[in-house]
Amino acid sequence: MNETLRWTRKDLLGIAPLDAPEIELILDTAESFLEVAERPIKKVPTLRGKGVINLFFEPSTRTRSSFELAEKRLSADSMNVSASTSALVKGESLLDTATNLQAMSPDLIIIRHQHPGVPHMLAKRLEAGVINAGDGAHEHPTQALLDALTIRRNKGRIKGLRVAIIGDIEHSRVVRSNIQLLNKLGAEVTIAGPRSMMPAAAHALGATVSYDLDEALEGRDVVMMLRTQLERHKRSLVPSVREYFKLFGLTHARLARAADDVIVMHPGPMNRGTEIASDVADGPASVILEQVANGVAVRMAVLYLLSTAATGAAPTAAGQSDKEPHAGDGAHRGES
Ligand code: CP
């Protein structure tokens, strides 16, 4: 753990603004939260008295439930607002909804939205810290952070690893956040997919670009498969699911090209038989469910760090505030 770096940001909007020590601080803090899940009573008092609002405008299983669980494990007072049951359906603007929620004095607002930049717009206008839980095809920072934690725990490092990210690159926010994070921590990233799912400026993303799955898999330490995001396709981008699986689906036979100790990742939700064979998804190289478990600890770390920045002081085990904020003080590890 970096004992000297302090978290100072009000918001977590993307990986782009973070530097490597900040990313490592989040990962180290998440490591220290992992053991909370092993306790008989999975709760610490760290965010007692803090208010968190989860504002999801797109469907989510993993991100939403792991933020909710992280908030509960930290003893925060959390509340969910979904677009379909809010006054948005009566014509209220997103900004009016958000400023009304702000009037209730939450400390943090988690937002997922289909339009890129919405979390950034809210962060500028709201006093509460804002966490981007996925904005269109732009960024999904907590996904990249939980992916990095999973890689680091399995491989012992990120620097120097050869990572392939395969699939629907154009429509993926996961790939954009992951390329930036992996580059900042010194990994070598290759992206691969059909030309119809590759953005025009793919080479500007910061990764080697391939259109051949076998080439992209050769010798890789980490293989990250992406979901084919049919709901974001304005037209059919592949002749058929069968054709896609034949060209870009991950099977055991194709995975044999990767390193012997390769790990297979997927952010979920998975389309089995489209981008990944079921026996690979459930096979010995798969760390897909570890990603989900690590997601709770990463989100606990992000909530903890942002709330210490918001108050200017780290909560103690007793739920009070220290005069000297310090993310590495271990205060969050106290039992409730
Ligand atoms: N990985 C991810 O964002 O999954 P959800 O859409 O279920 O949150």
Instruction: Say if residue 138 is exposed, middle or buried (CB neighbours under 10 Å; 0-12, 13-18, 19+).
Output: buried
* Closest ligand 1 atom, residue 267 Cα: 1
| Most distant pair of Cα atoms in the chain: their distance | 62
Q: What is the pLDDT of residues 171-226, one digit of tens each?
A: 999 999 999 999 999 999 999 999 999 999 999 999 999 999 999 999 999 999 99
pLDDT at res. 30: 98
Q: Which residue lies with its CA nearest to atom 4 of ligand 1? A: 62
* Closest ligand 1 atom, residue 64 Cα: 8
CA distance 48 to 336: 10
pLDDT at res. 321: 37
User: Within a 13 Å sphere around the CA of 194, how many CA atoms are in the beta-carbon half?
Assistant: 19
CA distance 43 to 201: 45
Q: Which residue lies with its CA nearest to atom 5 of ligand 1? A: 60
Of the listed ranges 43-52, 84-93, 326-335, the one predicted with least confidence: 326-335
* Closest ligand 1 atom, residue 59 Cα: 6
| 163 CA from centroid of ligand 1 (Å) | 21
Tokens of 208: 């080697």
Q: Is the CB of 61 under 6 A from ligand 1?
A: yes
Mutate to test the pocket of ligand 1, among 80, 131, 139, 143 (most ligand atoms within 8 A of CB): 143
Q: Is the CB of 267 under 6 A from ligand 1?
A: yes
Q: What is the pLDDT of residues 232-244, one digit of tens each?
A: 666 676 778 899 9
| 231 CA from centroid of ligand 1 (Å) | 14
Tokens of 148: 């990095």
pLDDT at 99 over 90: yes
Q: Is the CB of 63 under 6 A from ligand 1?
A: yes
Of the listed ranges 71-80, 83-92, 155-164, 296-305, the one predicted with least confidence: 83-92
Q: Is the CB of 268 under 6 A from ligand 1?
A: yes
pLDDT at res. 241: 85
Instruction: Say if residue 146 is exposed, middle or buried (CB neighbours under 10 Å; 0-12, 13-18, 19+).
Output: buried
What's the mean per-residue pLDDT of the chain?
A: 90
| 62 CA from centroid of ligand 1 (Å) | 5
CA distance 98 to 104: 10
Q: Contact, 207 vs 249, CB < 8 A?
A: no
User: What is the DSSP track for 66-77?
Assistant: HHHHHHHHTT-E
Q: Contact, 149 vs 294, CB < 8 A?
A: yes
Q: Is the CB of 295 under 6 A from ligand 1?
A: no
Q: Contact, 67 vs 112, CB < 8 A?
A: no
* Closest ligand 1 atom, residue 295 Cα: 1
First to last CA, the chain: 23
Cis check: omega of the bond before 269, within 30 degrees of 0: yes
Tokens of 130: 């804002």
Sheet bearing 162-166, strands edge to edge: 208-210, 188-192, 162-166, 222-225, 263-265
Vertex 23: Cα angle to 57 and 331 (nearest 5): 90
Query: What is the average pLDDT across 23-31?
Result: 97
* Closest ligand 1 atom, residue 134 Cα: 3
Q: Which residue lies with its CA nearest to atom 1 of ligand 1? A: 267
Q: Which residue lies with its CA nearest to atom 3 of ligand 1? A: 63
Q: Which residue lies with its CA nearest to atom 6 of ligand 1? A: 60
